[in-house]
């Protein structure tokens, strides 16, 4: 009986899906996404990554009437971390879920239109849960990356596969979780897997066919390609990597990017160098832990900013580079901001990568005591780099040090948001430190390539997570909200003077963007680590967010993981609007 009912349900969904009109998504719509209100066709609500909706119907005065419209379950036993940001086009929501799944949902009713499940092999090696962060829309297709490092293009109306391309060898540790980005008909992707000694890269493919246009490895010494032919070497071989360490140098580009049509540059962050044991690779180790500005037509690197040279703490540099116009001293500077794992909030000139300011957004940054604005380099505290295991006794371990922030970062993957009205950034931060020590390690294909051990510990008894409003002009914290558990979800700002984010305790919360006052909350039944969005349909403003606890904290969080072990897993997307609208 159950199988008959399921067949009827699937058949009904297919019939319903066939009736939904999906107009082709154009390059112009993608470029205008930040200003549009009736759809969301990019990850980040616009290529700038500001995660701002201009809609104002929901405000501190009206939010008391915000109620659920529907909730959709991702189903089955696959209830793990849900970090996706939904997309919305022509009455259909496209949302990815754990284990590389994609759903198309009728936004009026919450009915499933179609579902796609990637067939994952047994040997996948995701470092930080079986999550997926989102999709891309272009033409008649919807795209997303899978845990076995494939890029899949689906027919947006039916969910049928149009093409599938390999991003890397999953047996070597490559995987993919970030939402792709469309720039002028090309689909831009990165890769995950830095903990396995892969080589990070940024690639562009023809969005229609999936054929490679260019590939740019981000570790110096590797060759780039354009239209199937080798072009230029990344950096200068052995300039900042000793021996052959560059061959397995890490630098995973695992968190996606942003794009600026004014400068025609893609901005991608790069991850930790491999292995974590920094004594094996003296030098800056370019271009790891950096923000790269890349020409979208050729794949050439135009400038870089390295936030943690010779990273010995797994601080990465992949955090999103959010584009904005900095109004300061009577001037408007084309700028970008990044809140890094290393605990510093950076503001750069996005035309040339010049460091304008570096301000701590957490209470302790014991690995460095600031940045030199002339050189753009950190003032590293040598005593707080974990010791060299070659100089120790028979146990093979280097001396342990306590460092803050922990390697999970002052801010990890979860995207911050910017409000053009308040001219503030809203950063989901965490206060923790770690005991960390180095160990001997050699590279082996498909094996973890760390050379370090660690234990994460909370810094304070009363809170770990903190949503902080940062002023990019001054580097000061304007207000903060403290949360007992770590914050691990994205942030949304709106024209209604609101800031939305989720908590592991299950809440989607809203705050007054100017004051930080909590004005609304709703418990979704599992930890909220997705990125909320907002759009308008039939005169009503909607809010949506994925719910489902997971990600890196329960896997890597040490003492913090023990503190949050009783949070229930989940797998759903919730949609809200004002009652009566």
* Confidence at residue 428, expressed as pLDDT on a 0 to 100 scale: 98
* Confidence at residue 22, expressed as pLDDT on a 0 to 100 scale: 75
* Confidence at residue 16, expressed as pLDDT on a 0 to 100 scale: 46
Measured in degrees and rounded to the nearest 5, phi and psi for residue 236 equal -125, 125
Q: Is pLDDT above 90 for 4?
A: no
Q: Is pLDDT above 60 for 18?
A: no
Residue 510 and residue 532: Cα distance in Å, rounded? 11
Domain of 199 in residue numbering reads as 2-578
Mean pLDDT of the chain: 94
CATH of the domain at 426: 2.140.10.10
* Confidence at residue 553, expressed as pLDDT on a 0 to 100 scale: 85
Place of tokens 């260019």: 214
Three-state SS for 358? strand
> Residue 128: pLDDT band by 50, 70, 90 thresholds?
confident
Place of tokens 């110096």: 220
Residue 176 and residue 2: Cα distance in Å, rounded? 35
DSSP 216: E
Handedness of CA 474, 478, 482, 483 (dihedral sign): negative
Residue 293 and residue 418: Cα distance in Å, rounded? 21
User: In sequence order, which residues have a C-beta less than 8 Å from that of residue 474 and are 6 or more positions away?
Assistant: 359
* Cβ–Cβ under 8 Å, residues 437 and 452: yes
State the catalytic residues: 314
Pairing label, strands 141-145, 136-138: antiparallel
User: In sequence order, which residues have a C-beta less than 8 Å from that of residue 192 and are 6 or more positions away?
Assistant: 126, 127, 149, 174, 175, 176, 177, 178, 252, 254
Q: Which residue has the higher pLDDT, 564 or 27?
A: 27
* Confidence at residue 80, expressed as pLDDT on a 0 to 100 scale: 84
> Residue 103: pLDDT band by 50, 70, 90 thresholds?
very high
The percent of residues above 70 in pLDDT, for the chain, comes to 95
**Spatial CA neighbour of 398 closest among 346, 434, 436, 363:** 436
Handedness of CA 125, 131, 134, 139 (dihedral sign): positive
Q: Is pLDDT above 70 for 486?
A: yes
Residue 7: how many other CB atoms lie within 10 Å? 10
Measured in degrees and rounded to the nearest 5, phi and psi for residue 109 equal -115, -20
* Confidence at residue 31, expressed as pLDDT on a 0 to 100 scale: 97
Three-state SS for 51? coil
The percent of residues above 90 in pLDDT, for the chain, comes to 87
Q: What is the mean pLDDT of residues 49-55?
A: 98
Q: Please count the structural domains in the chain.
A: 1
Residue 267: how many other CB atoms lie within 10 Å? 27
Per-residue pLDDT reduced to its tens digit, 171-228:
999 999 999 999 999 999 999 999 999 999 999 999 999 999 999 999 999 999 999 9
Q: Is pLDDT above 90 for 243?
A: yes
Residue 487 and residue 428: Cα distance in Å, rounded? 6
* Confidence at residue 21, expressed as pLDDT on a 0 to 100 scale: 64
Q: What is the maximum span of the chain, computed from C-alpha positions, in angstroms?
A: 72
Q: Is pLDDT above 80 for 507?
A: yes
Peptide bond between residue 275 and the one before it cis (omega within 30 degrees of 0): yes
Measured in degrees and rounded to the nearest 5, phi and psi for residue 317 equal -155, 25
* Confidence at residue 552, expressed as pLDDT on a 0 to 100 scale: 83
Q: What is the mean pLDDT of residues 540-549?
A: 96
* Confidence at residue 152, expressed as pLDDT on a 0 to 100 scale: 98
Q: What is the mean pLDDT of residues 297-313?
A: 98
Q: Which residue has the higher pLDDT, 124 or 431?
A: 431
User: In sequence order, which residues have a C-beta less than 8 Å from that of residue 355 and are 6 or more positions away?
Assistant: 305, 346, 347, 348, 371, 373, 376
Q: Is pLDDT above 70 for 332?
A: yes
* Confidence at residue 424, expressed as pLDDT on a 0 to 100 scale: 98
* Cβ–Cβ under 8 Å, residues 40 and 53: no
Residue 212 and residue 199: Cα distance in Å, rounded? 18
Residue 282 and residue 239: Cα distance in Å, rounded? 11
* Confidence at residue 3, expressed as pLDDT on a 0 to 100 scale: 36
* Cβ–Cβ under 8 Å, residues 547 and 559: no
Place of tokens 């304008």: 356
Per-residue pLDDT reduced to its tens digit, 460-483:
999 999 999 999 999 999 999 999
- Interior/surface letters 539-566, b for 16+ CB within 10 angstroms, e for the rest: eebbbbbbbbbbbbbbebbbebeebbee
* Confidence at residue 395, expressed as pLDDT on a 0 to 100 scale: 65
Residue 294 and residue 4: Cα distance in Å, rounded? 52
* Cβ–Cβ under 8 Å, residues 314 and 452: yes
Q: What is the mean pLDDT of residues 488-514?
A: 98
Pairing label, strands 491-494, 66-73: unpaired
Residue 446 and residue 137: Cα distance in Å, rounded? 32
Measured in degrees and rounded to the nearest 5, phi and psi for residue 261 equal -70, -20
* Confidence at residue 2, expressed as pLDDT on a 0 to 100 scale: 35
Residue 453: how many other CB atoms lie within 10 Å? 16
* Confidence at residue 123, expressed as pLDDT on a 0 to 100 scale: 86
Residue 162: how many other CB atoms lie within 10 Å? 18
Pairing label, strands 212-217, 201-206: antiparallel
* Cβ–Cβ under 8 Å, residues 443 and 475: no
Per-residue pLDDT reduced to its tens digit, 416-451:
999 999 999 999 999 999 999 999 999 999 999 999
Per-residue pLDDT reduced to its tens digit, 374-399:
999 999 999 999 999 988 755 668 88
Q: Is pLDDT above 50 for 12?
A: no
Of 78-82, 108-112, 266-270, 499-503, the one with minimum mean pLDDT is 78-82
Classify residue 11 as exposed, middle or buried by CB count within 10 Å of its CB (0-12, 13-18, 19+): exposed
């Amino acid at each position: 009986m159950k199988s008959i009912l399921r067949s009827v349900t699937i058949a009904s969904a297919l019939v319903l899906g066939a009736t939904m009109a999906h107009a082709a998504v154009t390059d112009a719509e993608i470029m205008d996404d930040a200003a549009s209100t009736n759809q969301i066709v990019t990850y980040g609500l616009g290529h700038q990554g500001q995660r701002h909706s201009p809609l104002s119907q929901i405000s501190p005065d009206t939010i008391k009437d915000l109620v659920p419209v529907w909730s959709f379950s991702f189903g089955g036993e696959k209830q793990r971390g849900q970090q996706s940001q939904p997309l919305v086009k022509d009455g259909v929501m496209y949302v990815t879920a754990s284990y590389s799944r994609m759903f198309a949902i009728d936004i009026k009713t919450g009915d499933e239109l179609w579902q796609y499940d990637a067939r994952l092999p047994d040997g996948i090696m995701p470092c930080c849960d079986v999550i997926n962060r989102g999709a891309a829309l272009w033409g008649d297709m919807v795209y997303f990356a899978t845990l076995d490092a494939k890029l899949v293009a689906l027919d947006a109306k039916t969910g049928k596969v149009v093409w599938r391309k390999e991003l890397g060898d999953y047996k070597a540790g490559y995987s993919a979780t970030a939402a792709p980005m469309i720039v002028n008909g090309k689909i831009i992707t990165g890769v995950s897997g830095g903990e396995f000694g892969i080589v990070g890269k940024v690639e562009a493919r023809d969005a229609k066919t999936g054929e490679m246009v260019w590939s740019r490895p981000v570790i110096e010494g590797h060759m780039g390609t354009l239209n199937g032919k080798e072009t230029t070497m990344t950096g200068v071989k052995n300039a900042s990597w000793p021996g052959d360490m560059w061959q397995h140098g890490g630098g995973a580009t695992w968190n996606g990017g942003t794009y600026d049509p004014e400068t025609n540059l893609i901005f991608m962050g790069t991850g930790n160098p491999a292995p974590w044991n920094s004594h094996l690779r003296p030098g800056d180790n370019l271009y790891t832990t950096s923000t790269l500005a890349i020409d979208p037509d050729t794949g050439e690197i135009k400038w870089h900013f390295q936030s943690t040279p010779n990273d010995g703490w797994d601080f990465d540099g992949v955090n999103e580079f959010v584009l904005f116009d900095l109004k300061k001293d009577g001037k408007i500077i084309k700028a970008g901001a990044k809140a890094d794992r290393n605990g510093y909030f950076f503001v750069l000139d996005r035309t040339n990568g010049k460091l304008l300011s570096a301000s701590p957004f957490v209470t302790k940054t014991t690995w460095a005591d600031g940045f030199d604005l002339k050189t753009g380099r950190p003032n590293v505290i040598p005593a707080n780099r974990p010791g060299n295991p070659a100089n120790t006794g028979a146990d093979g371990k280097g001396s342990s040090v306590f460092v803050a922030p922990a390697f999970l970062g002052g801010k990890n993957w979860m995207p911050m948001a910017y409000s053009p009205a308040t001219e503030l950034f809203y950063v989901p931060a965490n206060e923790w430190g770690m005991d960390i020590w180095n160990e001997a390690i050699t590279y082996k294909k498909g094996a973890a390539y760390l050379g370090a051990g660690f234990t994460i510990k909370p810094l304070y008894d009363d809170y770990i997570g903190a949503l902080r409003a940062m002023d990019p002009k001054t580097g000061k914290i304007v207000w903060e909200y403290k949360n007992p558990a770590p914050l691990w979800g994205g942030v949304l700002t709106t024209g209604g003077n609101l800031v939305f984010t989720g908590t592991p305790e299950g809440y989607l919360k809203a705050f007054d963007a100017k004051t930080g006052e909590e004005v609304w909350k709703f418990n979704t039944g599992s930890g909220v680590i997705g990125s909320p969005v907002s759009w308008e349909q039939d005169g009503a403003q909607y809010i949506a967010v994925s719910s489902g606890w997971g990600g890196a904290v329960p896997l890597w969080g040490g003492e913090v993981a023990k503190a949050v072990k009783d949070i229930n897993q989940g797998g759903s997307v919730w949609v809200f609007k004002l009652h009566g609208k």
